[in-house]
Structure 1
């Protein structure tokens, strides 16, 4: 691996699910990195310096020397190839690896209504009182179906050993668990197992400022 140190750009509030995924990936790989923040509320990510860096104006963005990469799933794949001797972030088996990528893409492209009605902020700052809409409940049913199918037989992780897809799925499920919404006991236990990993604890231990009530 190149000796150039890695730098990860995340939102200044440290609540983005995608930033968390990239942070956990770096921690699991045991790669040293610097953490930098971007203020999304003031639209700092759309200013030219960051746009030139990230291309897409999104977080997280990983910087490695003169190379910068955004999108957490792309970052995980890059880290696996950059440092193949460390813990694998994606399954070794070709079919399981493809399934993990399928799950990651689905979590990012579908279920928007869950992300809207149960934003990741509530994991850190408290519950939402509003009940889930019918559309959100339908999305939750799809989420539970996929999670149940992939965790058949009481599996501890999705693909035998832990992968970054476990973190991504647990984040989505924890939007519901943390809010006190109904989640099957087996899936709630899965979330708690994932949340007990050192890499996830390191993210949760970051100090956050409680947002002012509007």
Structure 2
């Protein structure tokens, strides 16, 4: 089976020299935020609702990075038992190759992200090598739903295809199913094409 985080290789190699890059694929989680009004965002085909974003989350904590997906997925599964949202993003870094980054959290500002990272490190929940890098404001939105149940159904379907997703609750009537966290549109677009190869439509948008 072809996975978005293409699970085919065996060796796991952690990599920490990615401070200035956006690496991350994803988890079934919900983030609470203030209720949003009606949306001006175009609806994706077959989706259940429209959303208007009133708040953005450009920062995340980069926990680790792996050269192959198995290591990232294993760490994601373990970490997600304690922290949500934990997710994995596959990212192409050009000459540096393709990496799979384990990320945690969505933050509106770098101060909150750094504070949380240090607190988790102090409790030995995440590695001392974890850090908050440059903004990763872009994501791939699979769809938005009017209920948590609708979003969960989509998440479960994607899981059977090997696509790890996470959910952000924008309001009581808007749940967005997302893949990854990327530094720019071009980087997100590379993974968007891979999703399309699996028959999954998405759009590049901000988290």
Tell me whether the two structures share a fold, i.e. TM-score over 0.5. no
Q: Pick the structure with more strand per residue.
A: 2
Per the normalisation by structure 1, the TM-score is 0.27
Q: Which has the higher contact order (CA 8 A, sep 6+)?
A: 2
User: TM-score when scaled to structure 2?
Assistant: 0.27
Which has the larger helix fraction? 1
